[in-house]
Structure 1
Amino acid sequence: MALVIIAHVFANDGHESFVKAEMEKLIPITLGEEGCLSYELHTDNSDANHFVFVESWTSRELWQKHMGAPHLANYLAVTEGKIADFKLYELTKLAA
């Protein structure tokens, strides 16, 4: 079964464009990573500061490898102080 990750990112007021641009940089790199089945970025239609990543991975181990990747570490460094809140959910896909 695929591992599905839902990550809610809430940018601080005035930083939403910067945070969005930095998250968009992650997409092509992450899609090329071993085990990544999908990696989609969404925005909340009623809150411009709220972004949602919906990810699908072949295994938790490969997702954990992604979490330690240099491009993700760089994203965390450059967005430090610009993120108000972050919530992560690990799900197991049961049915299509």
Structure 2
Amino acid sequence: MPHPLPTRQEAAEVWLMPVFIAKAGHEDNLQKALHALQKLSRNDPGCLEYTVFSDGQRPGTFVLFEGWARKEDLEAHNKEDHVKKFVKGVEPLLAVPFAVTPLTPLT
């Protein structure tokens, strides 16, 4: 039996990779803030993946790998109180503003 073609929803998935670099001395606070954000965001509608990683080669650097079923789910997530509070509260902990890289799966 042939494999089904991807649905429109699968084609509309959104994948992102934000990177956070802590100011010296703020690594633990940034890690705790990211862990709390991860826990809450995994419950947001349309969340396919939301995992924070510690960069093993660059101490104090954290990489978030996130996936959303649709662009609208990501937009709704970004409007959630827990996301807005995180973005505002994390600024003093960062050495530089966090960067977000959009990812596209190879097919």
TM-score by length of 2: 0.81
Which segments of 5 or more consecutive residues in structure 2 lack a partner in the other structure?
1-10
Equivalent position of 2:66 in the other structure: 55
Check whether the contact 1:10–1:50 (CA below 8 A) recurs between aligned residues. yes
TM-score by length of 1: 0.90
Moved over 4 A (4+): none
The question of 1:89 aligning with 2:104 is answered no
Which SS does the other structure have where 2:76 is aligned?
helix
Greater share of residues in strand: 1
Equivalent position of 1:78 in the other structure: 89
1:1-12 alignment, distance < 5 Å: 1=11, 2-12=13-23
Task: Report deviation, 1:67.
Answer: 1.3
The question of 1:32 aligning with 2:43 is answered yes
Structure number with bigger Rg: 2
Which segments of 5 or more consecutive residues in structure 1 lack a partner in the other structure?
none
Deviation by residue 1:41-70 (Cα, 9 ceiling, x = unmatched): 101112221100001110112112111210
Q: Which protein, 1 or 2, shows the higher relative CO under an 8 Å CA cutoff with sep ≥ 6? A: 1
